[in-house]
Amino acid sequence: MVKLTIDSKVVEVPEGTTILEAAKSAQIKIPTLCHHPDLPPTAACGICIVKVGNRMVRSCCTPVAEGMEVITRDPDIIEARRTVLKLTLSKHPNECLTCLKNDTCELRKLSADFGIRDTEFANITPSKEEMPLDDSTKSIVLDPRKCILCGRCVEVCQNVQNVWALSMLKRGISTHISPAADNKLGDSPCIKCGQCTAHCPTGALTERDDTQYVWSLLQDPEKYCVVQIAPAVRVAIGEAFGYKPGEITTGKIYAALRRLGFDAVFDTNFGADVTIMEEGSEFIERFVNGKGALPLITSCCPAWVDYMEKYFSDMIPHFSSCKSPHEIVGALAKTYYADKVNIPTEKMRVISIMPCTAKKFEILRSEEMFSSGFQDVDVSLTTRELARMIKQAGIDFVNLPEEEADSPLGAYTGAGTVFGFSGGVMEAALRTVHAIVTGKEMPEDALEVKPILGLDKGIKEMTMDLAGKEVRIAVAHGIGHVQALLEKVREAEQKGEEPPYHFIEVMACQGGCVGGGGQPLGVTDEIRKARMEGLMKDDRGSKQRCSHLNPDVKKLYDEFLGKPLSERSHHLLHTSYQKRELYKK
Amino acid sequence: MADDKVKIQEDTRKMLVKWKTKRGSLIMALHEIQGAFGYVPWDSMEVVAEELKIPMAQIYSVLTFYNHFKLTAPGKVVISICDGTACHIKGGQSVIEAFEKELGVPAGTTTEDGLFYIQIVRCLGCCGLAPVVVVNGKTYGRVTPLDAPKIVAEWRETMAKEGA
């Protein structure tokens, strides 16, 4: 332990702690801008400056020392911080009122806290013509004029996600954020995970806002609008209305969606249950019946699919051909459900509410996303966009009554809801695979597969007994961890050895979808954990906790699909993959 | 072009053999590539990324951080115009403008026919001759804006004779 004083207060912290963290433990909040708890400090902005003796240092990257005397506020420090802010603002457009990050921008908030009213520095922000927007992807918009070069997006894209789409190019006043060769994001290795949008402190990186388009669909009397919400949305959207992270607001979301004007309110969790029927059967085909490559790798995360197609296309035979849950609900809404309610498919629009920016890309990623004869999912909104729509509509979310989802694509089991966090898809699959292979339901106390849950490790491994055979399992979250895992698989394959695993789950974002790139901003591991616990609670409170026990799923197979992996299932619920280049040059 | 790409990538791969095993050799490798081609072509970068296992984003960051590296092919005739202190005082700026006007491209770029490249340099070490222009190693002293068309014409002729 190291003892020091911060603003005359004695503080004792472990060695290696930074001044910033030490101050936090003493209830002193030093302002930060480039710092993010998920990322190593880059010391780019200089706002967290403090005094150690007569020296000014950046508290985010300066470790404490025995006997150190730190001052975090005096007139010099405040003046230095104000200058940093004014200089940052001198190359930032004054467009706060019409900026998508208006209410969440960290720069705007600091500027307010420091009472910046006018500044002696001229504003030298380039015009929109000189520095155009990059809206080349369906998911993410990069507005380089609003970039303050904090480096968070580059750090998360390169070192956390290992994607290497964004980089800092040039130097000095010409420095800017861009893919290599000033390519557009759409022509770069970008996998649309949206972690850059979740970590950008300003409006430089945001989700593409599709809310106006959804309003136009809702206001069109000719359109029949179907909506579905993903697992992780229900434990996060409340944050936009003052709820604590992790509080389950499913019933209120259904109610809000009806009031927004949606004609049918479904749940992606139902689709997740169907995914398990298909993917679980796929695993049994491969593992028990020896048909197809092992390990089987999950494919419900579109950012992960994009990453695999770009960086590990030799793994395509290992990929589950099963579509992701929201695509399944989309395809079923436009076939099974449209028939039931006798709505012409061309009038139906399916909108999915996702914790994810990559889903916006997924809805157009291949021909198989048009399996109903129309685009199966027409629009995908992020959790953040839905929160904005609810606010815009003047819906008092907190005081809404709880409502139920509509039949037949709304009822879900606990297995469907755990899809929203890392390890959940595997857990849900194991519950059903166990029942099918052994003929016996998993005992209640074994339903939660502890070794593959949680945020502590990037790769979680375990073995499980399945009717006397050992199943080797791995779960990875945060796409940066995947490389090591897949290289192991590749190596074994090249040497002709037994595969190191039989079943692998991958989610591109840290913690899985609860930490998705489209979720409410300001996420930390603490928040990810709270959201995950919310979903676990939802699972424990469910009447059924295994996908194959969902009565509406059984009905779907009886009435429409036949059995898992049937011809109709293959046509509507499965997809294929192809190698993609990193750069389109 | 396709043949060019194959040749560039083959040559690059040969150059990288000695750098592959050494950590931290990206900049040295890029120097060697620029030495061979006069710039660092995208096709070379692809090979560097593959052989040195360095993401393109990082290679490109390094290349654009250092002014030394060029990303487009320089012309066959490189016109280096000095704008160091002495040349600047003696009217170097007007000489730059005269060459830009004569060739129709700004400094730092290559003419469309790929023949001429104008670069501004800081001091060529012969301030007594200011303003100084060096073209492919040949030094011209006390250059005036009126000399620009003459120098360009001279080199057009030279290159035509060489069959360029």
How do residues A280-333 score in pLDDT, each as one tens digit? 999 999 999 999 999 999 999 999 999 999 999 999 999 999 999 999 999 999
Q: Distance between CA atoms of A412 and A575, rounded to whole angstroms?
A: 23
Residue B1: pLDDT above 60?
A: no
Q: Please say if A448 is a catalytic residue.
A: no
| Strands A49-52 vs A69-71: parallel, antiparallel or unpaired | antiparallel
Domain annotation covers residue B128: yes
Can you give the pLDDT at residue B3? 62
Residues B58, A585: C-beta atoms closer than 8 Å: no
* pLDDT tens-digit series, residues A187-233: 999 999 999 999 999 999 999 999 999 999 999 999 999 999 999 99
Average pLDDT rounded to a whole number, residues B76-103: 94
Comparing A480 with B162, which gets the higher pLDDT? Answer: A480
Considering only CB atoms, which chain A residues are within 8 Å of B44? none
User: Does residue B150 share a domain with residue B112?
Assistant: yes
Catalytic residue among A252, A513, A529, A542: A513
Pairing of strands A9-13, A49-52: unpaired
pLDDT digits (tens, 9 = 90+) for A117-154: 989 999 999 999 999 999 999 999 999 999 999 999 99
Name the domain boundary from B12, B32, B65: B65
Share of chain A above pLDDT 90, in %: 98
C-alpha closest to that of A547 among A439, A353, A370, A412: A412
Work out the end-to-end distance of chain A between its first and last CA atoms, rounded to an integer number of angstroms.
Answer: 54
Residues of A within an 8 Å Cβ radius of B: 158, 164-171, 179-181, 189, 582-583, 585
Question: Does residue B83 sit in the same domain as residue B158?
Answer: yes
- In the prediction, which pLDDT does B164 show? 55
A505, A423 Cβ separation under 8 angstroms: yes
- B37 inside domain: yes
Q: Which ranges constitute the DSSP H helices of A114-249? A: 152-155, 195-199, 211-218
Question: Would you state the structure tokens that stand for residue A150, as one six-digit string?
Answer: 């904090």
> Which of these three, B42, B65, B88, is where a domain ends?
B65
Considering the domain architecture, whether residues B108 and B130 belong to the same structural domain is answered as yes
Task: State chain A's mean pLDDT as an integer.
Answer: 96
Same domain, B53 and B96: no
How far is A562 from A569, CA to CA, in rounded Å?
8
* A410 pLDDT tier (thresholds 50, 70, 90): very high
Would you say A195 and A303 are in contact if contact means Cβ atoms under 8 Å apart?
no
Position A237 scores a pLDDT of 98
Query: b or e along A247-264 (b: 16 or more beta carbons within 10 Å of the residue's beta carbon)?
Result: bbbbebbbbbbbbbebbb
Q: Is residue A157 within 8 Å of A165, Cβ to Cβ?
A: yes
Return the structure tokens found at A568. 């109709």
Cβ distance of B56 and A164 shorter than 8 Å = yes
Is residue A566 a contact partner of residue A434, using CB atoms and an 8 Å limit? no
Chain B residues with CB inside 8 Å of A171's CB?
64-65
In a domain, B23, yes or no: yes
Q: Does B72 map to a domain?
A: no
List alpha helices for A219-267, DSSP H.
250-260
Q: Show which of B16, B44, B65 is a domain's final residue.
A: B65
Q: Does residue B101 share a domain with residue B54? A: no
Q: Which residues of B touch A168 (CB under 8 A)?
A: 61
Which of A155, A157, A164 should be substituted to probe chain B, the one whose Cβ sees the most B Cβ atoms within 10 Å? A164
Domains of chain A: 2-89 (3.10.20.740), 96-207 (3.30.70.20), 212-573 (3.40.50.1780)
Same-domain check for residues B88 and B148: yes
How many Å is the Cα radius of gyration of chain B?
18
Per the annotation, the verdict on A279 as an active-site residue is yes
Residues of chain B found within 8 Å of residue A181, distances taken between Cβ atoms? 42, 56, 60, 71
More reliable by pLDDT, A100 or B75: A100
Among A486-495, A512-521, B113-122, B137-146, the minimum mean pLDDT is found in B113-122
Listed range (A30-39, A100-109, B102-111) with the worst mean pLDDT: B102-111
- Using CB atoms, which residue from A164, A170, A585 is nearest to B57? A164
| Same domain, residue pair B28 and B103 | no
**What pLDDT is attached to residue B109?**
85
CA B159 to chain centre: 17
As for the ipTM of the complex, it is: 0.87
- Work out the pLDDT band at A584, boundaries 50, 70, 90: confident
What pLDDT band is residue B73 in, cutting at 50, 70 and 90?
A: confident
Percent of chain B with pLDDT over 70: 98
CATH for B128:
3.40.30.10
B51 and B99 both lie in a single domain: no
**Cβ A246 vs Cβ A531: under 8 Å:** yes
For residue A381, give the amino acid letter.
Answer: L
For A25-84, write each residue's pLDDT tens digit.
999 999 999 999 999 999 999 999 999 999 999 999 999 999 999 999 999 999 999 999
Note the pLDDT of residue B2.
Answer: 54
Cβ separation A179–B42 shorter than 8 A: no
Q: Are residues B157 and B90 in the same domain?
A: yes
Examine the pLDDT at B72 and tell me if it is beyond 90: no
What mean pLDDT is predicted for residues B47-69? 92
Strand, helix or coil for residue A56: strand
Residue B122: pLDDT band with limits 50, 70, 90: confident
CB A580 within 8 A of CB A441: no
B65 close to A (CB below 8 A): yes
Distances (CA, A) of A67 to A6, A18, A58, A77, B143: 10, 14, 18, 21, 66
Task: Check if B57 contacts A (Cβ < 8 Å).
Answer: yes
Cα separation, A486 vs A482, in Å, equals 6
d(Cα B110, Cα B97) in Å, to the nearest integer? 15
Q: Which residue has the tokens 């993959």?
A: A577
Q: Which of A155, A207, A278, A279 is catalytic?
A: A279
Print burial letters for A549-576: b (CB count within 10 Å at least 16), e (below 16): bbebbeebbeebbeebbbeebbebbbbe
Mean pLDDT, residues A496-505: 96
Residues of A in contact with B71 (CB under 8 A): 181
Same domain membership, residue B86 and residue B60 = no
In a domain, B91, yes or no: yes
From A247, A282, A385, A505, active-site residue: A282
Average pLDDT over residues A246-261: 98
Count of structural domains, chain B: 2
- What is the least distance, in Å, from the CA of A581 to any CA of chain B? 12
pLDDT the model gives residue B38: 86
Domain ranges, residue B131 = 77-162
Q: Quick check: is B94 in a domain?
A: yes
Q: Each residue of A369-394: pLDDT tens digit?
A: 999 999 999 999 999 999 999 999 99
Q: What is the pLDDT of residue B70?
A: 86
Same domain as B100, residue B52: no
B83 and B117 in a single domain? The answer is yes
